[in-house]
Amino acid sequence: MTTRTLISTCLAMTLLLAASACRSSGRAYHDANMDFGSIRTVAVMPFSNLTREAAAADRVRDVFSSALLATGGIYVLPPGEVARGIARAGVALPTSPSVEEVVKLGSVLKADAVIVGVVKEYGEVRSGTTASNVVSISAQMLEASTGKVVWSGQSTKGGVSLGDRLLGSGGEPVNRITEEAVDDLLSQLFH
């Protein structure tokens, strides 16, 4: 193998590895017995926040709710209505309700499903002297009549790419990365 071929092969493998490490889609679970076409009204619960960014969960929930509503197939209850329903149903921990609380909340809100989510990463990540934004979220859809998980997905978008390292760019804005991660989640839901 010539030096030129070896360098070309190493460069190609590095590019593939860097591209796959920076942008990933998680695996999704779909309940095979669930008729997703019957879901018309959804309550998106406050997301759990595992990041240092205090407003990350609220920001991701807002983007998720807007994108889900924009699909046109599902009505997403407004956050204020969901908050009133949480209070009326006596949900102790809105970020992770029990099966009984999901059923009661679904009845109070007249929702077909409840969505819960977790923001695992949000904001700047560094690699050496290069910084970029990353967003990692997971979500679950719970059937309101039973409290059973009928869909689960996860997505991580952003991160420091080879282009960021070579060109010194800061990557995309965190809101754009959030939209990409949410779009990926919704594509997993509606596949």
Domain ranges of the chain: 25-189
Burial label for 79, CB within 10 Å (0-12, 13-18, 19+), is: middle
> What residues form DSSP beta bridges with 24?
156
**pLDDT averaged over the chain?**
87
25-189 belongs to which CATH class?
alpha beta
How do 149-158 and 130-143 pair as beta strands? antiparallel
User: Is residue 156's pLDDT more than 70?
Assistant: yes
Cα torsion at 127, 52, 62, 164 (round to 10°)?
A: -10
> What residues form DSSP beta bridges with 126?
131
User: Is residue 163's pLDDT more than 90?
Assistant: no
Per-residue b/e over 104-142, b at no fewer than 16 CB within 10 Å?
bbbebbebbbbbbbbbbbbeebeeeebbbbbbbbbbbbb
Q: pLDDT digit string (tens) for 23-39?
A: 444 589 999 999 999 99
Q: From 23, 67, 18, select the one nearest 42 (Cα to Cα).
A: 67
Higher pLDDT, 3 or 183: 183
* pTM of the predicted model as reported, rounded to 2 decimal places: 0.83
User: Is residue 125's pLDDT more than 70?
Assistant: yes
